[in-house]
Amino acid sequence: MHFYSFYEFLSYTSIFKHNVLEGYRSGVYGSGFKSLAKRFKIKGGHMLIKRWYRQWDGTVQSLNRKSRNGRPR
């Protein structure tokens, strides 16, 4: 279990995640994952935003929660 697993159960909407991620600019001071986590007061911090970013393809729909069957391995 990762340390941010608890935070994924908090109810951040897909639209909210999308708005946060639109502010990300790689290599631009004040626009990184840590800065976004502070600005938007994300519980779970920059690691949670990184996880959203890996899932994100630029659309709100890509951030919708996927249903999982069974217990994670």
Write a three-state SS string for 19-53: HHHHCCCCCCCCCCHHHHHHHCCCCCHHHHHHHHH
The pTM assigned to this predicted structure is: 0.76
Query: What's the pLDDT at 1?
Result: 45
Work out the average pLDDT over 21-33. 97
Domain locations in the chain as residue ranges = 6-57
